């Protein structure tokens, strides 16, 4: 999607402009700085349903913080400050978001950036203090196979009074590596932003590179199939993980077996367990034979039945229900305040889904019901995932039943200007943006859904007990790697 001219404003008025949009029902979906002369352009992307708007402000060095009026902008401004050197004055919590290094300059600046002699910025203590209170540091190294992240709890006994998330241990510098000629293939990089969301990231990147070039219908249908299979195996992973964290071993083993069968089918049909290498600019890499379609339909139907059976195991086990219900509640007002997306938002009453509001590929021609609940607890997030798996199976079967012979890839031309790709990944709304100048990617911005959902978890854990944190964390289903671009 190519964006037109922005709404330009003075940096002193940027916060008021964004607040005015948000008061009209718009939501901040991305915010990044792109170097200009003599300073930087601060870009704020907002979305309301199927509408996308951009507010831009030319600033030199600093500007009044948008987060002072729009809390959802807080984590974006922290990243701009550390990565591009643009200071949001009056921010209130200006600590690194993804880098945590002292270097000579800022990683996304155009001037040479030195990493010699870098030191890691020390993690701040939580501000809450008092008699009988103490901090529990957790991570960045965790038990089992899990990504690195540091959690710092302030507790009185077991109840959590405050929790701060400190990430950045998996920072890869992908945004910087994305810069360069538009002709360069970026799919390999995009797929490795967050490996279990490879399809979503490569699709968002492809939407930018393709410009307005039409993609063949058969390729669009295969893209939907890939996207929904990815959604199914991600949701199954979270459901099985919740059972593991409840010591519900039988159900956990069953859920893992269902997911494993789907991943093996992915390998047989698409050549990769996590579906990497299938989405390419202009279409898809490989076609589906009739035999592939038959195997695919059997695999996803088994996954759909398995998901509902797993949900039944959970709901019929009182000890598990007791652990999941009323645990980790994220209220609707907090979900809106922090700009949360995906399952986390929909389980808290924010019924937003890019596939329905801003249809891409073949979603506009397919029938499905976005799933949402209102309680916002761990059980609600699990229930939304189980129901979404059923909807994903339906979408896949609609595509296979309507698929006709045809080409799967066409040529394209990447236009200059600011373009964005917005898709509904398994974790929620995913946004890629690229500032293309004279055939070169000048600035590439990636906003994984985890980036805006991590801050919401800091609120959801409050007044819960420490042993329930693994359940809350798993129910959010967030990516450390996706955050640490």
Tokens found for residue 302: 């088994």
CA–CA separation, 468 and 405 (whole Å):
51
Task: Give the chain's residues under pLDDT 70.
Answer: 115-118
Q: What's the token pair of residue 19? A: 């607040």
Which H, E and C letters describe 409-474, residue by residue?
Answer: ECCCCCCCEEEEEEEEECCEEEEEEEEEECCEEEEEEEECHHHHHHHHHHHHCCCCEHHHHHHHHH
150 within 8 A of 121, measured Cβ to Cβ: no
Lookup: tokens for 46: 């907002």
Of the three residues 97, 117, 143, the one that is the final residue of a domain is 97
Same domain, 280 and 420: yes
What separation in angstroms does the CA of 268 have from each of 96, 109, 262?
42, 43, 10
What is the predicted pLDDT for the residue at 281?
94
- Whether residue 192 sits in one domain with residue 88: no
Residues linked to residue 418 through DSSP beta bridges, in sequence order: 435
Question: Considering the domain boundaries, does residue 146 fall inside one?
Answer: no
The CATH number that applies at residue 190 is 1.10.645.10
Q: What is the pLDDT of residue 7?
A: 94
Task: Tell me which residue has tokens 């009056």.
Answer: 90
Tokens read off for 112: 């040479």
| Residue 102 counted as domain residue | no
Residues 230 and 91 in one domain: no
Q: Which domain holds residue 333?
A: 185-448
Same domain flag for 70 and 191: no
Q: Where are the beta strands (DSSP E) in 121-177?
A: 134-138, 150-155, 160-166
Instruction: For residue 368, count CB atoms less than 10 angstroms from its CB and return exposed for 0-12, middle for 13-18, buried for 19 or more.
Output: middle
What tokens were used for 138? 């957790």
* CA-wise closest residue to 377 among 323, 315, 308, 317: 323
Q: Are strands 440-447 and 180-181 parallel, antiparallel or unpaired?
A: antiparallel
Let me know whether 85 and 212 are in one domain.
no
CB-count burial class (<10 Å; 0-12, 13-18, 19+) for 452: buried
**Omega before residue 38 within 30° of 0, cis:** yes
Specify the pLDDT at position 117: 63
In a domain, 460, yes or no: no
Q: Are 86 and 214 within one domain? A: no
Percentage of the residues of the chain whose pLDDT score is greater than 90: 87
Dihedral-angle region of residue 80 (phi above 0 means left; psi in -120 to 50 means alpha; beta otherwise) = alpha
**C-alpha–C-alpha distance, residues 430 and 231, integer Å:** 13
Residue 163: inside a domain, yes or no?
Answer: no
Structural domain tally of the chain?
Answer: 2
Domain membership flag for residue 24? yes
Report yes or no on 46 lying in a domain.
yes
Which of 62, 97, 132 is the C-terminal boundary of a domain?
97
Residue 265, in any domain of the structure:
yes
Tokens of 34: 């792109």
Residues 61 and 190 in one domain: no
Q: Are residues 93 and 192 in the same domain?
A: no
Q: Which of 31, 65, 97 is the last residue of a domain?
A: 97
Which pLDDT does position 258 carry in this prediction?
98
SS3 of the chain: helix, strand, coil, percent, to 5: 45, 20, 35
List all residues 6 or more positions away from 170 whose beta carbon is below 8 Å from its beta carbon: 147, 148, 480, 481, 483, 484
Q: What's the CATH number where 41 sits?
A: 3.30.460.80
Report the distance separating Cα 57 and Cα 379, nearest Å.
Answer: 42
Residue 272 is classified by DSSP as S
Going by C-alpha positions, the residue among 398, 405, 387 that lies closest to residue 361 is 398
In a domain? residue 410: yes
Cis before residue 140, ω within 30 degrees of 0?
Answer: yes
């Amino acid at each position: 999607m190519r964006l037109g001219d922005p709404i330009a404003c003075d940096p002193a008025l940027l916060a008021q402009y964004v607040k005015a949009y948000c008061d009209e029902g718009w939501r901040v979906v991305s915010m990044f700085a792109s170097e200009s002369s003599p300073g930087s352009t601060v870009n704020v992307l907002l979305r309301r349903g199927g509408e996308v708007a951009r507010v831009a402000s030319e600033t030199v060095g600093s500007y009044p913080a948008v987060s002072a009026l729009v809390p959802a902008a807080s984590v974006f401004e922290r990243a701009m400050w550390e990565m591009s050197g643009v200071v949001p004055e009056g921010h209130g919590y200006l600590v690194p978001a993804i880098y945590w290094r002292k270097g000579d300059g800022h990683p996304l600046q155009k001037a040479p950036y030195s990493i010699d002699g870098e030191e890691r910025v020390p993690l701040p203590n939580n501000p809450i203090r008092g008699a009988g209170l103490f901090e529990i540091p957790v991570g960045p190294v965790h038990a089992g196979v899990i990504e690195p992240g540091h959690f710092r709890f302030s507790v009185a006994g077991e109840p959590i009074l405050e929790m701060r998330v400190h990430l950045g241990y998996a920072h890869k510098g992908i945004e910087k590596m994305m810069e360069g000629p538009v002709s360069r293939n970026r799919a390999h990089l995009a797929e490795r932003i967050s490996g279990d969301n490879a399809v979503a990231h490569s699709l968002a990147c492809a939407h930018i590179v393709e410009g307005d070039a039409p993609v063949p219908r058969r390729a669009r249908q295969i893209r939907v199939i890939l996207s929904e299979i990815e959604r199914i195996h991600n949701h199954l992973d979270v459901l099985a993980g919740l059972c593991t964290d409840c010591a519900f071993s039988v159900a956990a083993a069953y859920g893992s077996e269902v997911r494993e069968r789907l991943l093996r089918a992915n390998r047989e049909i698409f050549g990769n367990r996590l579906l990497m290498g299938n989405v390419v600019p202009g279409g898809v890499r490989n076609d589906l034979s009739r035999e592939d379609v038959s195997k695919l339909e059997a695999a996803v139907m088994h996954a759909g039945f398995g998901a509902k059976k797993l949900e039944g195991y959970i709901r019929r086990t009182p000890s598990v229900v007791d652990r999941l219900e009323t645990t980790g509640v994220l209220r609707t007002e907090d979900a809106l305040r922090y700009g949360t997306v995906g399952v986390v938002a929909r389980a808290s009453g924010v019924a937003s889904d890019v596939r329905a509001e801003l249809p891409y590929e073949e979603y506009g021609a397919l029938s499905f019901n976005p799933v949402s609940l209102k309680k916002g607890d761990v059980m609600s997030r699990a229930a939304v995932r189980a129901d979404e798996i059923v909807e994903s199976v339906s979408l896949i079967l609609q595509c296979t039943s309507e698929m006709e012979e045809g080409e799967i890839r066409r040529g394209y031309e990447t236009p200059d200007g600011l373009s964005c790709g917005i898709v509904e990944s398994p974790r929620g709304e995913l946004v890629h943006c690229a500032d293309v100048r004279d055939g070169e990617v000048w600035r590439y911005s990636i906003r994984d859904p985890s980036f805006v959902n991590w801050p919401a978890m800091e609120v959801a854990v409050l007044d819960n007990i420490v042993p329930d944190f693994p359940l809350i964390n798993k129910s959010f289903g967030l990516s450390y790697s996706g955050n640490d671009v």
